[in-house]
Amino acid sequence: MIDRRLHGVVAIAVGAFLVTLAALVRLYVYPSAMLLPAEHDRITRMSSESGTYFDTAALRTRRGVPIDVAIARYGDLVRSTADVAVWTEFVSVQTRTGDRVDYHERRAAFDRRTGQAVDCCDGYEDADPRPRPRGLVFRWPLDTRPISYPVYDPLARRAVTARFEAIETLYGVRVQRYTQRLVNERLRQPAMNLPGTVFGLKESGEVPATAYLDGTRTFWVEPASGMVIGVRENLVKTLRADDGRGSLVLFSADLRTSSGDERWNAGEAGHFRSWSVVVGTVVPLSLALPGLVALLLGLRRQFRPGDPRPEPGESAGTAAGREPLPADA
Q: Give the whole-angstrom CA distance, residue 201 versus residue 215.
A: 27
The pLDDT averaged over each successive group of 10 residues in the chain (329 residues) is 68 79 72 81 96 92 96 95 95 95 95 94 90 93 95 92 96 95 89 86 84 96 94 95 89 96 93 75 78 78 60 50 51
pLDDT at 308: 53
pTM greater than 0.85 (yes/no) = no
DSSP-derived 3-state class of residue 78: coil
Q: Which range marks the domain in which residue 11 is found? A: 1-33+273-305
Q: Are residues 54 and 150 both part of a single domain? A: yes
Q: Give the whole-angstrom CA distance, residue 191 versus residue 4.
A: 87
Q: Give the whole-angstrom CA distance, residue 9 versus residue 18.
A: 14
- Asked whether 247 and 211 are in contact (CB, 8 A), the reply is no
- Is 329 part of a structural domain of the chain? no
145-187 pLDDT, tens digit per residue, is: 999 999 999 888 999 999 999 999 999 999 999 999 999 999 8
- Asked whether 45 and 68 are in contact (CB, 8 A), the reply is yes
Q: Are residues 178 and 296 both part of a single domain? A: no
Sign of CA dihedral 254, 260, 263, 267: negative
Q: Are residues 3 and 72 both part of a single domain? A: no
DSSP-derived 3-state class of residue 134: coil
pLDDT at 326: 54
Distances, alpha carbon 287 to alpha carbons 8, 19, 32, 278, in Å: 19, 6, 19, 12
- Is 148 part of a structural domain of the chain? yes
Angle between helix 283-303 and helix 2-24 axes, rounded to 10 deg: 160
- Is 96 part of a structural domain of the chain? yes
pLDDT at 86: 97
Split into its structural domains, the chain has a count of 2
Q: Are residues 227 and 149 both part of a single domain? A: yes
- Asked whether 118 and 84 are in contact (CB, 8 A), the reply is yes
Q: Are residues 225 and 290 both part of a single domain? A: no
- Is 320 part of a structural domain of the chain? no
- Is 313 part of a structural domain of the chain? no
Q: Are residues 174 and 217 both part of a single domain? A: yes
Dmax (CA) of the chain: 137
Q: Are residues 85 and 21 both part of a single domain? A: no
Q: Are residues 28 and 103 both part of a single domain? A: no
- Is 267 part of a structural domain of the chain? no
Strand blocks (E) in the chain: 41-55, 60-75, 84-95, 100-111, 117-118, 124-125, 149-153, 158-170, 173-186, 192-195, 206-222, 227-241, 247-257
Q: Are residues 139 and 277 both part of a single domain? A: no
- Is 319 part of a structural domain of the chain? no
- Is 113 part of a structural domain of the chain? yes
Q: Are residues 186 and 46 both part of a single domain? A: yes
pLDDT at 322: 52
Q: Are residues 122 and 25 both part of a single domain? A: no
Q: Closest Cα to residue 87, out of 136, 33, 156, 158? A: 136
Q: Are residues 68 and 114 both part of a single domain? A: yes
